[in-house]
Structure 1
Amino acid sequence: MTTPDAAAPAFDALVLAGGRASRLGTPKPGLVVAGRPLLDHALAATAGARATVVVGPDELAAPHRYALTREDPPFGGPVAGVAAGLAALDGGDPAPWVLVLACDVPRAVEAVPLLLDAARTAEGAGDAGREPREHVDAVRAVRGGRDQWLVGLYRRTALDAAVTRLRADGGVDGAPAHRLLGGLAARRVDDAAGTTLDVDTWQDADDHDRRARGAGPGGHPRPGQEAAMTNLERWVDALAAELDVDPDVVDIGAVLDLARDAAHNVERPAAPLTTFVAGYVAGMAAAEGGDRPLEDVLDRASELALAWSPAPELPGTDAGEA
């Protein structure tokens, strides 16, 4: 993991984790993408922070790792989240910069060092004999010409002042990020590598999973890539060893795809049930000498899930009643 240079500016971190995730249909912080929950990806990116505040619901509480607060009102949007996070950071010796980071950016750990380096070079009065460096209050990523407001470093004094101005001009609840952050003098850091790509849909999650898996059969690393194994891959290897199964027969990507299709098109509890039934059937087929049974079973189950149309419930009938 890349870590900030010793000369990088001091910063605190705000991780915004309180959104509705309406397109996913499941809370983002706990969604496992590229082998670990999205919140863990974000926290890895804040490793160099003096203090870290997560803005999100009570179930995210982990006092030994970070402070937790909640935007007011809940689901008030990223600007309300920033305001709540800044309030939670008060009371100590605040760092001169604040990292504002959405929790749904799996590769943030790659983006943050670039922001810190840009902030470092922007500070100070310039080298001897040269013009003073430009004053900047924001260093944020830009991808495809679009500002990534929630992958950025902001000067604490400027961010506090922006929140105060916005409170006096309509309030922070529901305000778009650019109203809070767009007026700050900024240095923009081009994200040509796509490190700020976020996860808003199941397809986004799948794209990140495929990139992280790195390619051998079943999603396992090629020879020489063992050090890059994700936590999920190590778990599959350990489980396969415990149950005396060849780990290469476990196509992690295909199984996760099936689980996603079942959860998204049927309902969330359908994901583990569907993968269990598919695995059981594939095992029986393999015992009988079938040809590529796992792929066939997964494909058929996925097709069924994608075509599923739940029957409407009868009035006064609870789901699951006979």
Structure 2
Amino acid sequence: MSGVLDFAVSFPRGRADVQRMHAASGVPVADILAITHAEGFPVLGDGETAWELAVRAAREVLDRTAVAPEEIRYVIYAGSGAWDHPFWSPAAKVAHELGIGRAHCFEVANFCNAGMAALKVATDRLDLGGEGYALVLVGDRLSRMVDYTDPESKALFNFGDAAAAMLVARGQTPFRLLHTAMRTDPSWSDYYLGEHRPGPDHPGRVAIRRAAHRKGLAAAYVENFTALIGDTLDAVGAKLTDVDHLLINQGDQDMHRRLLAELGLPAEKSVFNYHRLGHMGGADTLIALGGLRDEQRLRGGELILLATSAMGFSWGITALEYQR
């Protein structure tokens, strides 16, 4: 069975600033802080690209594991599909930069659920047989698609940027993939749409727009996550009390706490980074997992659930077993 041999996260040098959001949108600072929970957080700066962040994270992983580029068989780049350039393969660009010349390079677009969806694709391919490794990259440019001049976009003001790299291998790995359960409710497919920004100041730029407000999305998050957690625990033969860590995309702190309460899990079994980070795209759960690893809070045999979600709307639960 395959799993994650190692992973790393890379942050940009730019910073989002609540005061600037307030000046651009006119939304009161208190209302923005109710969404961001932090005065600032990392975003892509001028001249920075998501693929370069992904290269940095990938290099860290390859250096740490001493895996040679020629041993990589798959390079999968996961995100929203709004890459740094249109009609372009960031997976191939990263592979070229890293000297990976014989891998199959392709993209998986499922917004902030894409990283875990790509991990499942990678493990499935490796489990079918053959030698080598898969490199799964998570990279997006969410902050670049937020229109801070639009008060109706304030729910997106917490969008930050980060990239991650996971090295996937067969056999014994520190993070063994036990099960993946994912589903989409397509009735929400048009709730958010990208549109080209008008005017000469933003040529080619895309802004995310929300349709007329519709009730029920927060409840859908809790209901879908709860159902998928149940399916996952049944599949791995575990109970809720066996869950050691439940790590959730950092999109909405209220939903995060509501889900824990619904499940009866204490806050100590999750990670809250809202005080210092925004919603860092598909890297959220890996940032949380990295924090647990760095703080030596992981123990052999622990069951870790990664709860990811995405516009569209999709939800996923990825079950990992930590093996010291």
TM-score tier after normalising by the smaller chain length = under 0.3
Q: Which has the higher strand share?
A: 2
Larger radius of gyration: 1
Report the TM-score when normalising by structure 1: 0.26
| Structure with the larger RCO, 1 or 2 (CA within 8 Å, 6+ apart) | 2
